[in-house]
């Protein structure tokens, strides 16, 4: 068993190393599930086989010692050298391969349950959600806000709150579901979303905007025009820079339901299909989102982002956000 355990740890190190070096994209949910199952198997084996076997061996050692002492006492020998306490302690000691598997099962199980059904941490890697979220923000995502989903396969088994316009959502990137993206919900199923000449309209009505001065973007070291936008009940800030207007057409798009979108050089208009959502970044001129790669299906939802729990470069960032 020690050889098998060492081989499993070697495979784990190789997998994590290749993931870290960029040779492949890892799946942490699947990895955590596999670790939970593997450590559970060791824990059960320890609970019902290995530990009882060690205890039986220790009891047999004590019995043999008692028999030997009784036999020597009948022979008139009262003083007997040797103490089995150290040997018994050694017999009862858990070997390293059980200590590093069965011993870790409770911790891994708690992490698996918390991450799968309650809250999951993420790190913001890009500036697409500036000014709401900055690069380096460590955020928490509520996994049960939209409903309870089975881990790994992400199938919803219990409904909860509906998705609302203005929510900041983490989801699996439709182009490559191994990656997680974070954007703001702009369009719900049935909505007609238009982004034209750097202005957003929903169902034919312009979304209210209020100028909020300029925002200093540290990465680009320049000031960007900042606005307050209201989507549904949520009022939040966005960046829109006329100097960086994107060009959208007329190249064809190939994502699912692309026929529901119409592209022009000024922008794009999309009718959101059932069971899908239209997502956009708050940094409107620096965000790859539904305008480019299409709609997010409901089964790709990970959860609702709601709290910055740490930013090592700016502790003032800690707190809730819209």
Q: Check 29, 88, 116, 128 and give the catalytic one.
A: 128
What is the number of residues in the chain?
322
Active site residue 143: no
Active site residue 183: yes
- φ/ψ (deg, to 5) at 35: -65, -40
Q: Check 29, 88, 116, 183 and give the catalytic one.
A: 183
Beta strands in 109-179 (DSSP E): 119-123, 138-142, 147-149, 156-159, 168-172
* 85 membership: H or E segment, kind and range: helix 85-92
Q: How far apart are CA 45 and CA 39, in angstroms?
A: 10
Q: How far apart are CA 12 and CA 124, in angstroms?
A: 26
Q: For residue 104, with 0-12 CB atoms within 10 Å meaning exposed, 13-18 middle and 19 or more buried, which class applies? A: middle
Measure the CA dihedral 122/111/174/130, to 10°: -10
Q: How far apart are CA 170 and CA 299, in angstroms?
A: 12
Q: How many CB atoms lie within 10 A of CB 200?
A: 21
Quick one: tokens of 300? 């790709």
Residues marked as catalytic: 128, 183
């Amino acid at each position: 068993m020690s050889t098998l355990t060492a081989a499993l740890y070697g495979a784990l190190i190789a997998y994590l190393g290749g993931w870290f070096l960029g040779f492949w994209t890892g799946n942490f949910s699947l990895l955590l599930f596999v670790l939970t199952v593997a450590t559970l198997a060791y824990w059960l084996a320890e609970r019902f086989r290995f530990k009882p076997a060690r205890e039986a061996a220790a009891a047999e050692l004590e019995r043999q010692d008692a028999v030997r002492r009784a036999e020597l006492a009948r022979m008139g020998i009262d003083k007997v050298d040797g103490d089995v306490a150290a040997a018994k302690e050694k017999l009862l000691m858990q070997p390293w391969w059980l200590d590093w598997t069965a011993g870790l099962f409770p911790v891994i199980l708690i992490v698996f349950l918390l991450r799968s059904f309650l809250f999951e941490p993420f790190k913001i890697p890009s500036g697409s959600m500036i000014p709401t979220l900055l690069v380096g923000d460590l955020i928490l995502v509520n996994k049960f806000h939209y409903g309870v989903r089975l881990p790994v396969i992400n199938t919803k088994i219990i409904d909860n709150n509906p998705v609302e316009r203005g929510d900041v959502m983490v989801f699996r990137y439709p182009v490559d579901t191994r990656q997680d993206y974070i954007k703001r919900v702009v369009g719900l199923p049935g909505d007609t979303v238009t982004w034209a000449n750097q202005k957003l309209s929903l169902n034919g009505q312009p979304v209210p905007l209020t100028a909020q001065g300029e925002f200093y973007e540290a990465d680009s070291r320049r000031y960007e025009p900042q606005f307050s936008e209201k989507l549904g009940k949520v009022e939040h800030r966005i960046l829109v820079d006329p100097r960086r207007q994107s060009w959208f057409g007329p190249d064809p798009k190939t994502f699912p339901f692309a026929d529901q979108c119409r592209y022009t050089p000024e922008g794009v208009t999309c009718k959101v299909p059932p069971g899908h959502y239209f997502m956009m970044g708050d940094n409107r001129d620096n965000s790859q989102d539904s305008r480019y790669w299409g709609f997010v299906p409901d089964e790709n939802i990970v959860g609702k982002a709601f709290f910055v729990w740490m930013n090592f470069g700016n502790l003032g960032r800690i707190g809730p956000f819209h």
